[in-house]
Chains A and B, each alone.
Chain A
Amino acid sequence: MNDHKKTVYLASINHAIPPYWQNMANDLGSAVNFAFPCIEIAIDLNLFYSEERGQYHSTLILSKILNRLPKNGEKIIGVTNVDIFVPILTFLFGEAQLGGKGAIVSTCRLHNEFYGLPQDDRLLYARTIKEVLHELGHLLDLVHCRDYECVMHSSTYVEDIDLKKPQFCPVCQSILTTD
């Protein structure tokens, strides 16, 4: 029996994870048996701002996040609150290196206010948890799942995220545990 839990660093970029989300590591840990130590990192995001798009380049931020992976660390997921993009797509909720070390999640479009709806902190938190788990799934080599309640279901609208549960479906779970 190996009681050494695998570790995924959760990096709050420029205080994107508010202090009152201190339960996040626990909540993530109850969906998947990993330790989630939180670290705060500062990144000068202006370097990755696109004047034309009014957004920040996701892949470039991700490469910066990877530089901050602590020694002996295996994986890192950065959380930012700016709106991110890759050149060909209008936006992203997150990006991950499939089977790799690093991922990024943006909370920008997870806010209700972004869509002209009343603020809802609990909903924002729930959506963020799901998106972090989703990108973690990609880091663990999972691809999108057809089960609309599975956290690995592809979400192109925030409403799709709300339909998902903060957990892996039995099929995805079984892929995770056999690896």
Chain B
Amino acid sequence: MQPYKILVVDDELSVRTALEGWFLEDGFKVDTAESAEETLKKIQPGSYDLILLDIKMSGMDGITLQKKIKDIDPQAIIIIITAYASVDTAVEALKLGAFDYVTKPFDPDDLSNLVGNALKQKELTTENIKLKEKISELSSIDEIVGDSIEMNRVFEMVQTVAETDSTVLIRGESGTGKELVARAIHSRSKRRYFPIVAVNCGAIPETLLESELFGHEKGAFTGAHYRRKGKIELAHGGTLFLDEIGDISSKMQVDLLRVLENKRFTRLGGDKEIQVDFRLICATNKNLEKLVEEEIFREDVYYRINVFTIFLPPLRERRADILPLALHFIKKCARSMGKAEKQISPQAEAILLTYPWPGNVRELENAIERAMVIGKHADVRLEDLPLRLNEQERLSERAISLSDVEKLHIEKIFKDTKGNITRAAGLLGIDRVTLYKKLKKHGIQRESF
């Protein structure tokens, strides 16, 4: 892609230098001119994509210069730079066809928005997007691990909903990976070239949440010395992910509803309405229906967000994913700690498979991480695991689910041997008849391997 060419016209050297530096960093090709003559010498039809013109320069009438530029290059896009005192002149320039004006000194964000808008018509983003597409295909690593029937159902739903622009509600106990699912949806959607902005509504005090979401203008409240961009504004074009949506106050619910309905909002202490376009994904571990019944959560908000629901099962209900997840985390830890990957000892494996995992995937990840840090053996052992079980519970837990362990182990061997009965029986150290009996007992279909 050719860089845009820009001409900065100003009689002050420091202004020319500053703007030249700014636009060079932004990837523009920059030219400067300090006088009307120099400007007119440089202008040819189509020679610049954008011209920044200081309207008040000594010994020069900016309005006349603007007219002359337009005579030579009628398509030229001109942005007027003006001092606060000369806004009237700037308005006159607008009438004569300038694109817009900016008052100095200007906010970097205002300048960048103004220039962005001016160039939008010329925008040639397709090339760039195609390049990005290739790279994201190459580097897309799936963070969600799981091969259970339950998780495959989740993946299917992610795929289906990602292609639409529908609001999504992700439900599940804490630690089940709701944010990963939100990110997976975003990264498969057409909005993936824009940000996904996550807000944990439960973790931010009510007083701060408002400014966090909506941003604020300078002077909106004590301590607000500067304008601040809120998360809603940051999510423009992309996805807004509101985690723990069940925790927001009824006032926030009302404010949020307004944004969802109108796709417009104002920063705190501001009066300008800002238009936004984002996809909303919410998540909660709360029973929203009960909260609606108790009138803690507004029914209208509930219907707004409850359009397409993905339920993430707790880890204890998809035990087939435990070992693949554990191995994934071992690999991840080993890589970040620069250590060798480890196997899991049979005793540790049995506990991992039977432990109830109240903290779900996050608890499993923490347990593995700790085991990798403190473990002194070549494999991950039972004593390395920081599970909150006393000995009695460990025993009873094991006793109750021994049959479960057997079933999972047989399934694992079957997967390894691709359903070959003779090899599986050999590896399990039992004869084929016993294996057939066990298959029947556990309802395992060997055809499915």
Contact = CB atoms under 8 A, between A and B. Distances in A.
Nearest to B128: A146
Best-surrounded residue of A95, A109, A149, A163 (most CB of chain B within 10 A): A163
Contact of B24 (A89, A143, A157): A143
Interface stretch (B153-161, B226-234, B253-261, B294-302): B226-234
B25 A98 contact: yes
A87 B11 CA distance: 13
Contacts of B139: 170
Contact of A95 (B19, B21, B81, B128): B21
A1 interface: no
Contacts of A143: 24-27
Contact of B18 (A59, A149, A160, A169): A59
B109 A88 contact: no
Interface in B209-230: 221-226, 228-229
B105 A85 contact: yes
Interface in A126-149: 138, 143-144, 146-149
Contacts of A115: 223-226, 228
B412 to A, nearest CB: 36
Contacts of A96: 25
A154 interface: yes
B25 A138 contact: yes
Interface string A95-125: 1111000000000010000111100000000
Given A116-B223, A116-B225, A86 B208 contact: no
Contacts of A87: 12, 14-15, 18, 105
Contacts of A144: 25-27
Contacts of B377: none
A117 B208 contact: yes
B222 A116 contact: yes
Interface string A149-179: 1000010111110010000011100000000
A26 to B, nearest CB: 14
Interface in B1-28: 12, 14-15, 17-19, 21-22, 24-27
Nearest to B16: A88
Contact of A90 (B15, B105, B135): B105
B304 interface: no
A88 B128 contact: no
A89 B135 contact: no
Interface residues of B, number: 43
Interface residues of A, number: 36
Contact of A86 (B18, B125, B224): B18
A92 interface: yes
A96 B108 CA distance: 15
Contacts of B105: 53, 85, 87-90
B107 A156 contact: yes
Interface centre among A86, A88, A157, A163 (most CB of B within 10 A): A88
Most buried by B among A85, A87, A117: A87
B106 A88 contact: yes
A98 B24 contact: yes
A171 B1 CA distance: 14
Contact of B19 (A88, A114, A156, A158): A88
Contact of B104 (A88, A97, A159): A88
Contact of B234 (A116, A159, A170): A159
A87 B14 CA distance: 7
A48 interface: no
Nearest to B54: A88
Interface of B: 12, 14-15, 17-19, 21-22, 24-27, 81, 104-109, 111-112, 125, 128, 131-132, 135, 138-139, 193-195, 197, 208, 221-226, 228-229, 231, 234
12 contacts: A86-B17, A87-B105, A88-B15, A88-B18, A90-B107, A92-B108, A98-B24, A98-B25, A116-B223, A146-B125, A148-B194, A170-B139
Please provide the 9 A-B residue pairs with the shortest distance between their CB atoms, ordered closest to farther: A116-B223, A143-B27, A156-B109, A86-B18, A156-B108, A157-B229, A87-B14, A98-B24, A159-B229
